[in-house]
Structure 1
Amino acid sequence: MEIKLKYGIDNLLFGMKEQDVTKILGKPDTKYKDEEENVVFMYNVRKLRLIFYKEEDFRLGYMTTTNPIVKLFNTTVIGKNWSDIYPLLEKNKIKPFETDTVEGMISYFNEENWLFFHVDYNEIVKIEIGAVFSDKDEFDWRF
């Protein structure tokens, strides 16, 4: 599973509809609506959560994973130390990061790529990526 910043993960692209995703991954293990009425697909084996935004005609707009095989810049990141991965991000011009700490877990956020790293005990435990915005302040769909 390769994260493609601003596009998605592997062949899952921001802007896809539910039927496009199910053609690729099959039916989700769990499907529900969140508090904002967005549709959420969960794929347990893939450790992947996909969110289809209600306000955007249920287009795929957000992905969360804890899968240890997920890669960014051809490097696995889940389970790695933040201090080892941060230089890779800098090298690929992924900066700056805003930080937030909740109960000891640090979240690093890069707005340009709508990319979150959640770090617990210096170990990356979760990655979130979202569709980015165009210059017109609209989603820049890739599908």
Structure 2
Amino acid sequence: LLAITIAVPAGDVTRRDTIEQIADRLLFTDTMAQFQAARNAQNPSSLDWGSDGCSSSPDNPFGFDFLQSCQRHDFGYRNYKKQNRFTDAGKARIDSNFKSDMYNQCSTEGGAFEVAACKGVADVYYEAVKEFG
């Protein structure tokens, strides 16, 4: 018998993530810059990239830029609903990530006073989505 070995480069073997796994990576693992790059490219196109910003609240309260945090939060709600997995636990995880995103933004807002003020506003936004989102 003759044995044949075929070499396949490792790069050619790919694992296919489900659309749910991709949404979770974009929400919970990727940096905001990575999320925004995917959002700007609308990639993958099968995800819901729509957003109304921070809804009825200002996108930039007191000059604190929460727009991107609100966009990722909208992405989470819309896609979890579309994927039939918008449970209490899923909503809580998306809301918690929203708070983390806003806090990360707050860390760029200047000195200790500005950061503390920003986090105070972020807490109000978080409590609002937790209660009414």
TM-score, normalised to structure 2's length? 0.28
More helix by share: 2
The structure whose RCO (Cα within 8 Å, separation 6+) is larger is 1
Higher Rg of the two aligned structures: 2
